[in-house]
Chains A and B, each alone.
Chain A
């Protein structure tokens, strides 16, 4: 009846159980609170079924922040184990639990934090920046988000029902094959990533079309804000890379479900093929994460230097160069697999080449500050922290692209320090910069600056304490993913420092949560009535904060790269009495959340081999599609008179 799912799946050791129960309790608490405040209808009508990219963007960010909290807890657990599991002491986690924790940490951070903030930011800002009212395919956008959300749910549910994968976040076979991992763990990982990955592909298509087809009149590609350009690079990568992931995971699940041998060495399968395929997706993936962050820094530096971005064309070509190069470097993830010298040398040199456009970008940002007026707001602090960490991490990266050097540091903690420099220093800092920068636009009030600064310093100092020791540990021969090591290695002091560092980072996240609470409480004081709190340059600042559902009452026409700045400089105020027209917007639809839910059921059934449940999931998805296809009225009209009313109210608020 329930396939492989038996009562044993609910039995856990005390630590796992504590995590599971606390999550279960917080879910019950959330449900109770929503019921108590009678917010269910509001939640359903205003958020869950919404097709408004600004709403979907906020939901992406909420999921990403919850997952960040989860991923950081994992990190704390990992370092706590490693700080004390030395010699005769064996730490507080069993090896298999420890391995689940680091697998969950990697999967969570890359797929649900990284991808969440990428799509969250795009949803929130992209349409506004290119002067569009909506995205190209609003319903697809909703499906994309709900697939992402249901993917993230497996990570949570695996704490309560059964176990998660213990094979590391890229799950190399044969370890991830049936023979060495017969349990449900790897299946949880596969379906979590598979479903979220399909969501990413759909959203990728949606935003690519949005950029190509929905820019406002006058905005040629070379007049787009750099964030839009970086998004374009990311979207191209998503569309080319994610199908590889889908196919690879498809083959791995055939190996596991039907006993096939794509990647297990028996019957002619090839584990090295998996390693190639997963990194043919995996390397572009890291650029998928970092490019939007580059875009955010570009907007932040130029806005807070009150100056044009230095050498826009260089920036654009650098993005295009990085996008292209990122597809021909994947082999540097496994120089140690024994490919010939020519192959290793080629991929090593291609990898180094990426440093050139990246370096150019950094120079351009620095020269954007030159002859500007630099305001040290929190987003600017994140940017400066980024330059330091990213330059050092980048150096480590180029170092590892020399294959013989890589032989000495591959899979050591040196590598871990390198990619955390890129992902925390680059992606996460970029996200925080963008979050603070655009928060008033989306929510209508600014975040508390002082707490933001405190949080920044915690993250920066915490980062240095947590990851500089790792560079040294790597050189000492410490490999990643160790749940125990001998005392004679002399690693323990450095592991202790690293653990303290993670503690300081957690304090930083705590301060950010406090910052949110305080800012919401004091929102009256920090309200942004102008719609332009930072003296901004691009179109998103020309509308109100928060923007109306249709973003722009009149679609703007642009002539330059910083249209809003130009407009303020020339003093050309928008038409005094604009002629409003009827605006057509998409209706809400519950089908996105339903498709997400049925996909979750389908994946869950596949994890536990429950046939009837799988059939329900599949039929549910199909039914939703048929219902959507047969709907006739999917849009509604906001009459010109209503638009005029909303706008009048907004301009009154401005005064």
Chain B
């Protein structure tokens, strides 16, 4: 009897320990500096919400499965001769209907969520905001990121600044192998491909420095393709733009050609002017057969 109590106590305490560890883990995850779970932009926040909703829905099934696995395995262990043994029992229609239907219902709910969120968070779709969107063109190069501000007629390398609470309309291409443009704290990524123009709409809800990177292998210097995305106040942004306009170098075609040569771990650079239509030229040059 006492031995039984003891083993029960053991089981209960190990379950409590396990649950405690899970709770502590979750608290740690949401409190510490984990980009995807602590987003600083509306898009990222929507995506985090989706993660939480979907996880909770799935746990409705997965948790019972995990618990049942061990309960069943333990209860029907061979040494427990008191348990029923029915070697030919292999049907129970109610149970079967249940485990086809319940997951199906959960997946149906998730499908509706998927359909809605795919449309709402389509990276091509402009964001709802009072502020006028800021257009920034992004070119993935071997192995650095070039940011062109067509309206401000400036460009930067491995650094991008924009005002907070202003939708950013990123237009993305590549003059190198395929890359993926990702600023985890603001929201999801999209591919950068040569000869193609993809779009990504992001917004920063507060000021700060956010790490950006490439998520798709693009050759030797790939690991160094990081940049800082700096969200500042609109005034600070305006000051910064006029400062960049004073930069000594400007991005004409010759400068760009030199820049496009492979190089890695490049320092931040600023360009006071940009060759007109440079971004379109980069996209379109892949349509021409003479390109080498």
Contact indicator B77/A374 (Cβ below 8 Å): yes
- Please encode chain A, from 341 to 365, with 1 for each CB lying within 8 Å of some chain B CB and 0 for all others: 1101100110011011001101100
Closest chain B residue to A407 by CB distance? B188
Contact indicator A95/B90 (Cβ below 8 Å): no
Contact indicator B84/A371 (Cβ below 8 Å): yes
Contact indicator A359/B217 (Cβ below 8 Å): no
Interface size class of A (residues with CB under 8 A): 35 or more
Q: Tell yes or no: B268 within 8 A of A by CB.
A: no
Which residue of the partner chain, among B50, B55, B190, B224, contacts A338 with CB atoms under 8 Å?
Answer: B190
In the complex, chain A residues whose CB is within 8 Å of the CB of B72? 366-367, 369-370, 374
Which residue of the partner chain, among A306, A310, A373, A387, contacts B90 with CB atoms under 8 Å?
Answer: A310
Evaluate whether A338 and B103 lie within 8 angstroms (CB atoms) in the complex, with A175-B219, A402-B113 already known.
no
Q: Tell yes or no: A276 within 8 A of B by CB.
A: no
Nearest CB on A from B175, distance (A): 10
Task: Give bound CA distance, A277 to B76, whole Å.
Answer: 47
Q: Tell yes or no: B263 within 8 A of A by CB.
A: no
8 Å CB contacts to B: which residues of A51-83? none
Closest chain A residue to B47 by CB distance? A408
Nearest CB on B from A448, distance (A): 20
Nearest CB on B from A28, distance (A): 34
Task: Give bound CA distance, A394 to B58, whole Å.
Answer: 10
Q: Tell yes or no: B78 within 8 A of A by CB.
A: yes
Nearest CB on A from B258, distance (A): 18
Contact indicator B110/A352 (Cβ below 8 Å): yes
In the complex, chain B residues whose CB is within 8 Å of the CB of A404? 46-47, 50, 117-118, 120-121, 188
Task: Give bound CA distance, A490 to B33, whole Å.
Answer: 9
Contact indicator A371/B76 (Cβ below 8 Å): yes
Which residue of the partner chain, among A305, A314, A348, A481, contacts B114 with CB atoms under 8 Å?
Answer: A348
In the complex, chain B residues whose CB is within 8 Å of the CB of A391? 62, 65-66
8 Å CB contacts to B: which residues of A477-536? 477, 479-486, 489-490
Contact indicator A405/B54 (Cβ below 8 Å): yes
In the complex, chain B residues whose CB is within 8 Å of the CB of A334? 191
Closest chain B residue to A301 by CB distance? B73
Contact indicator A481/B217 (Cβ below 8 Å): yes
Q: Tell yes or no: A167 within 8 A of B by CB.
A: yes
In the complex, chain B residues whose CB is within 8 Å of the CB of A480? 215, 217
- Please encode chain A, from 255 to 286, with 1 for each CB lying within 8 Å of some chain B CB and 0 for all others: 00000000001111001100000000000000
Interface size on B, residues (CB 8 A): 95
Q: Tell yes or no: B35 within 8 A of A by CB.
A: yes
Contact indicator B76/A372 (Cβ below 8 Å): yes
Contact indicator B195/A265 (Cβ below 8 Å): yes
Evaluate whether A475 and B34 lie within 8 angstroms (CB atoms) in the complex, with A372-B85, A402-B113 already known.
yes
Task: Give bound CA distance, A372 to B184, whole Å.
Answer: 49
Task: Give bound CA distance, A309 to B91, whole Å.
Answer: 10
Task: Give bound CA distance, A374 to B95, whole Å.
Answer: 21
Task: Give bound CA distance, A208 to B59, whole Å.
Answer: 38
Nearest CB on A from B95, distance (A): 7
Task: Give bound CA distance, A265 to B286, whole Å.
Answer: 6
- Please encode chain B, from 173 to 186, with 1 for each CB lying within 8 Å of some chain A CB and 0 for all others: 00011101010110
Q: Tell yes or no: B211 within 8 A of A by CB.
A: yes
Q: Tell yes or no: B240 within 8 A of A by CB.
A: no
Closest chain A residue to B177 by CB distance? A175
Nearest CB on A from B152, distance (A): 26
8 Å CB contacts to B: which residues of A396-421? 398-399, 401-412
Task: Give bound CA distance, A292 to B158, whole Å.
Answer: 47
Q: Tell yes or no: B96 within 8 A of A by CB.
A: yes
Contact indicator B65/A356 (Cβ below 8 Å): no
Which residue of the partner chain, among A172, A268, A398, A477, contacts B184 with CB atoms under 8 Å?
Answer: A477
Contact indicator A411/B89 (Cβ below 8 Å): no
Task: Give bound CA distance, A392 to B55, whole Å.
Answer: 10
- Please encode chain B, from 100 to 121, with 1 for each CB lying within 8 Å of some chain A CB and 0 for all others: 1001100100110111011111
Task: Give bound CA distance, A370 to B80, whole Å.
Answer: 12
Q: Tell yes or no: B144 within 8 A of A by CB.
A: no
Contact indicator A349/B115 (Cβ below 8 Å): yes
Closest chain A residue to B84 by CB distance? A371
Evaluate whether A271 and B189 lie within 8 angstroms (CB atoms) in the complex, with A308-B88, A369-B72, A404-B118 already known.
no
Q: Tell yes or no: B153 within 8 A of A by CB.
A: no
Nearest CB on B from A3, distance (A): 24
Q: Tell yes or no: B194 within 8 A of A by CB.
A: yes
Q: Which of B29, B91, B113, B191 has the most CB of A within 10 A?
A: B191
Evaluate whether A99 and B178 lie within 8 angstroms (CB atoms) in the complex, with A306-B87, A345-B114, A395-B58 already known.
no
Q: Tell yes or no: B222 within 8 A of A by CB.
A: yes
Closest chain B residue to A376 by CB distance? B77
Closest chain A residue to B81 by CB distance? A373
Task: Give bound CA distance, A483 to B195, whole Å.
Answer: 28
In the complex, chain A residues whose CB is within 8 Å of the CB of B46? 404
Contact indicator A366/B68 (Cβ below 8 Å): yes
Nearest CB on B from A472, distance (A): 7
Q: Tell yes or no: A307 within 8 A of B by CB.
A: yes
Contact indicator A99/B177 (Cβ below 8 Å): no
Evaluate whether A356 and B103 lie within 8 angstroms (CB atoms) in the complex, with A366-B69, A395-B58, A475-B34 already known.
yes
Closest chain B residue to A399 by CB distance? B54
Task: Give bound CA distance, A341 to B119, whole Å.
Answer: 5
Which residue of the partner chain, among B100, B120, B177, contacts A180 with CB atoms under 8 Å?
Answer: B177
Nearest CB on A from B165, distance (A): 21
In the complex, chain A residues whose CB is within 8 Å of the CB of B54? 398-399, 402, 405
Contact indicator A349/B217 (Cβ below 8 Å): no
Nearest CB on B from A54, distance (A): 30
Task: Give bound CA distance, A403 to B122, whole Å.
Answer: 9
Task: Give bound CA distance, A95 to B262, whole Å.
Answer: 14
Nearest CB on B from A502, distance (A): 20
Q: Which of A310, A376, A476 has the most CB of B within 10 A?
A: A476
Q: Tell yes or no: B205 within 8 A of A by CB.
A: no
Contact indicator A405/B193 (Cβ below 8 Å): no
Task: Give bound CA distance, A410 to B34, whole Å.
Answer: 16
In the complex, chain A residues whose CB is within 8 Å of the CB of B221? 95
Contact indicator A387/B118 (Cβ below 8 Å): no
8 Å CB contacts to B: which residues of A165-188? 166-168, 172-175, 180
Task: Give bound CA distance, A481 to B184, whole Å.
Answer: 17
Closest chain B residue to A353 by CB distance? B107
8 Å CB contacts to B: which residues of A316-339? 334, 336-338
In the complex, chain A residues whose CB is within 8 Å of the CB of B87? 306-308, 372
Task: Give bound CA distance, A376 to B50, whole Å.
Answer: 39
Closest chain B residue to A266 by CB distance? B291
8 Å CB contacts to A: which residues of B34-77? 34-37, 44, 46-47, 50-51, 54-55, 58-59, 61-62, 65-66, 68-70, 72-73, 76-77
In the complex, chain B residues whose CB is within 8 Å of the CB of A479? 182, 213-215
In the complex, chain A residues whose CB is within 8 Å of the CB of B196? 265, 272, 338
Task: Give bound CA distance, A338 to B122, whole Å.
Answer: 9
In the complex, chain B residues whose CB is within 8 Å of the CB of A405? 47, 50-51, 54
Contact indicator A336/B190 (Cβ below 8 Å): yes
30 contacts between A and B (CB under 8 A): A172-B217, A265-B195, A266-B286, A271-B193, A336-B180, A341-B118, A345-B119, A348-B114, A352-B114, A359-B65, A359-B99, A360-B103, A363-B95, A371-B83, A384-B73, A387-B66, A387-B69, A395-B59, A404-B46, A405-B47, A408-B184, A410-B180, A410-B215, A411-B189, A476-B34, A476-B35, A477-B213, A479-B215, A484-B224, A489-B211
> Which 6 pairs show the lowest CB-CB distances between chains A and B?
A407-B188, A175-B177, A477-B184, A265-B195, A345-B118, A404-B121
5 more A-B residue pairs beyond the given contacts A367-B92, A371-B89, A395-B58, with a C-beta to C-beta distance below 8 A: A267-B289, A341-B122, A391-B62, A412-B215, A476-B35
| Interface positions of A (Cβ within 8 A of B) | 95-96, 99, 166-168, 172-175, 180, 265-268, 271-272, 305-312, 314, 334, 336-338, 340-342, 344-345, 348-349, 352-353, 355-356, 359-360, 362-363, 366-376, 380, 384, 387-388, 391-392, 394-395, 398-399, 401-412, 472, 474-477, 479-486, 489-490
